[in-house]
Amino acid sequence: MKQVVLALLCLGGVAQAAFAQPSQPVTFARDVAPILQRSCQNCHHAGAIAPMSLVTYEEARPWARSIKQKVTSREMPPWYIDRHIGITKFKDDPSLTEGEIATIVKWVDGGALAGNQADMPKPRQFADVDKWHIGKPDMVVSLPKPYELRANGPDEFYDVDVDPGFAEDMYIAAVETKPEAYSFKVVHHATANMIEDEDEDPVGCFCSEDARGKSGDIFPENSGRLIKAGSKIHFNLHLHPSGERSLVNLSIGFKLYPKGQVPKYVAFTQHMGDNNDLDIPPGEMARTDGYFRLPKPAVLSAFQPHMHNRGKAMCMEAIYPDIRADSARPGPARTETLNCVSNYQFGWHITYPYAEEVAPLLPAGTIIHITAWHDNTAANKYNPNPRNWVGYGQRTIDEMSFAWVSLFYIEEADYQQRVAARKKTSE
């Protein structure tokens, strides 16, 4: 019996020793490179917008401590949606999991080892900086000639209309606006509007925007944006002089539905919660509220906050209509916070596209409530001058407060069917 007990104790000791064996060190080749490929290298490769490449160990190793700091603070990769509030499931989400962050921390703290080259994943293949994120467009329209931006001075705004010769109505499945490779560094943002009637609406309806962090709009299945025959494109460019003379050009690319095919839903993007009556005293935080009422049932497909350098945070809330017959009930209407960006960064105009199974499905009469906070204190390191009062304006040193929201409207019967389907899925 004693022999059996001793044998079991020995086996237990062997097992314990096995479990006590130190884990393998974290290496770049095996553990870190796959994370960088998925979430970082799209910007961090030669010729892209990031200041350094992180494709190889030799390129990444000098930046190891900085990489650790940026990912633990969640400054990188740029994705500032609050993961603890509202909807958290999105398409093309590059953000790192807690486990991935822990892996990078262990790699850096363990000496940032290279590892075995045989463990390296197959390298990503990158086209040049002009690569279209929506895929190869079916049609591309550019400025008629480059705009010459002076070397120094304040922000410039350039507006130009282009007639692309649209001969017939067409629907687009995706759209992207982007500067040419030689000018993207001086383009703060650029919008493209569709002018259907110059006399009735000389500015036109919003179609697409380029800004750092945006990668084009791919519309949900069976939805698309209508472009009417004869429409002209109005380009508006917001430009920053860079210290040297620059030539600026940009293009808009369209992926089209096949001729004659009409999607079931018309998709579009618009401002919601605009508030131009901004009053941001020097040295203070300020809250602003804006509202938009949905005239029909709608599916929201993406959310993008918009403020300037003093922007601190923005939340989007749904205030649901009281559809009961005895609507004179006490208390406020039912509300739901859909999303918050709690660490807004003006340098990254990120669109957050919802995963289709969780995209907000809202009844007619829902009020979209946009709440924005601006930080005009010295604690805001991006603040141009905390001693100045700030109001609404187009310049970077002015402020704005609204959200770009992508959506498509649906009929009431469709809305009820979708509500029933989601309820069944959640049971």
Q: Which residues are registered as beta bridge partners of 299?
A: 361, 408
348-402 per-position pLDDT tens digit: 888 999 999 999 999 999 999 999 999 999 999 999 999 999 999 988 889 999 9
Q: Is the pLDDT of residue 6 over 70?
A: no
Contacts of residue 388, Cβ cutoff 8 Å, sequence gap at least 6: 282, 376
Q: pLDDT tens digit string along 165-224?
A: 999 999 999 999 888 766 677 888 888 999 988 878 877 888 888 877 777 888 888 999
Contact yes or no for 303/338 (Cβ under 8 A): yes
pLDDT-above-70 percentage for the chain: 91
Beta strands 223-227 and 265-272, pairing class: parallel
Confirm whether pTM is higher than 0.85: no
Q: From the CB of residue 285, how many other CB atoms can be counted at a distance below 10 Å?
A: 16
Nearest to 332 by CA among 341, 323, 319: 319
Distance CA 151, CA 194 (A): 31
CA angle 418, 293, 213 (to 5 degrees): 80
| 188 vs 184: CA distance, rounded Å | 8
Contact 190, 236 (CB under 8 A): yes
The more confident residue out of 315 and 266 is 315
Enclosing H/E stretch for 337: strand 335-341
